[in-house]
Structure 1
């Protein structure tokens, strides 16, 4: 099944966050995702979702200063307690917002001599999160991020993700597969989706290079979407790209995919 969610951290950002929900609904989305929702009270977000008939399907555990060039929380040995507090914060939001999945960003290691220690810490923290979120029936996902945009990211390939999934072997742990990031690393996303979609809990996409909307780069999105559509995948496929102009003007791909404008195919 192919059903689209709008990432409100990137899409519709010509509006204040509170107005992006209505804009997403008006554009044909029935679900949204937010990278880090914690600047807005959970009850307020819940009201915005209810008012606009939307589901929040995904958000991230807080990652500290990762997006500003820091190492994040999930892999830093000295920040284990901070990570656990971030998981507790995510749980409080999940109690109100009821996402299907919560993403744990592995983060960076800026001292290569400590990489093995960081990776071991990430596995311990990811297991902690998966156990915590499973108590609410929530799937935990984690993703690889390309090392061009985020140098030092400790998980930057599909092979690494699969190994982590195998090593932890947790029934509520899945991959968050980002088509842009893995394409940026030179991987064959179509082949991976065909072979491993059963291990994926959430998909995100943007065109490559440039991280714009489908059609702005070189990826064959009709073929990629068809693979998802024909599979047994029942999760959401999140539009997480940077629109070249107004978001509404970047949605030709959605209009060509959608049945009745619902965003579900």
Structure 2
């Protein structure tokens, strides 16, 4: 069974963020996710979700300047205290919005000589976040991001995600698997999903290489969605692509793959 979310940070961007909730519902989504919800007061988001009878499945801990070309937050040794403050902000939103999972973005390291230090910092910060979110019954995820779009990203393959899981050994930490990013890296997404859905708590997708909706690139979504649907995966599948036209016109795939 496949349950899809609309990522409101990439979909329906022709509308202001508060209006995207209703648009998602009208297009057939029962759940949404937001990369960084902090531009809206938590009370407003809660009201918008309730008005549309939507679940908020996922959002991210703040990542500082990552999306503007910076290193991010979770792995930078000099930003440990700032990361703890960001986790506190996330907790305040999570208490009200009750997401299923919260994502911690590893970030980048621009100095190869410090990579080991950054990796250690990330694992320590990830464990700190996981312990905090576990108190609310919320699972913590992290994801690999392709190194073409984000050079220097410290976790950029499925194997590196598995390495982090082994190193951290925390019962509340899981993978977020992004089909777009791993396809962009040339990985065998089908093989990885067949092997590791038990360690994945959230999946996202876009076609590759352009990051558009299914059908605009080379990803075999029928095979991948069949693998997910026939696995023991219990999470949601996040539509995190950039529509090549207006969002509603990009949703032909939803009628094909969605299972209520």
Cα distance in structure 1, aligned partners of 2:247 and 2:191 = 30
Cα distance in structure 1, aligned partners of 2:211 and 2:257 = 20
Q: Considering only aligned residues, what root-mean-square deviation do their CA atoms show, in Å?
A: 0.7
| Residue in structure 1 matched with residue 232 of structure 2 by the alignment | 232
Cα distance in structure 2, aligned partners of 1:157 and 1:81 = 28
Q: Residue 2 of structure 2 contacts residue 258 of structure 2 at CA under 8 Å; is this kept in 1? A: no
Counting only pairs closer than 5 Å after superposition, residues 20-35 of structure 1 correspond to structure 2 as: 20-35=20-35
Q: Deviations over 1:53-96 (max 9, x none)?
A: 10000000000000000011100000000000000100000000
Does 2:161 match 1:168? Answer: no
SS at match of 2:148: coil
SS at match of 1:136: coil
**In the TM superposition, what is the alpha-carbon distance from 1:258 to its structure 2 partner?**
2.6
**In the TM superposition, what is the alpha-carbon distance from 1:112 to its structure 2 partner?**
1.2
Q: Which runs of 5+ in 1 are unaligned?
A: none
Divergent runs of 4+, >3 A: none
| Residue in structure 2 matched with residue 11 of structure 1 by the alignment | 11
**In the TM superposition, what is the alpha-carbon distance from 1:165 to its structure 2 partner?**
0.7
Counting only pairs closer than 5 Å after superposition, residues 98-247 of structure 1 correspond to structure 2 as: 98-247=98-247
Cα distance in structure 2, aligned partners of 1:34 and 1:106 = 17
**In the TM superposition, what is the alpha-carbon distance from 1:169 to its structure 2 partner?**
1.5
Q: Which runs of 5+ in 2 are unaligned?
A: none
Cα distance in structure 2, aligned partners of 1:258 and 1:156 = 29
| Residue in structure 2 matched with residue 48 of structure 1 by the alignment | 48
**In the TM superposition, what is the alpha-carbon distance from 1:168 to its structure 2 partner?**
1.3
Aligned residues: 260
Cα distance in structure 2, aligned partners of 1:76 and 1:258 = 39
SS at match of 2:204: strand
Q: TM-score, normalised by structure 2?
A: 0.99
**In the TM superposition, what is the alpha-carbon distance from 1:108 to its structure 2 partner?**
0.4
Cα distance in structure 1, aligned partners of 2:160 and 2:8 = 28
SS at match of 2:56: strand
Q: Residue 4 of structure 2 contacts residue 258 of structure 2 at CA under 8 Å; is this kept in 1? A: no
Q: Deviations over 1:166-203 (max 9, x none)?
A: 12121111100000000000101011000001100100
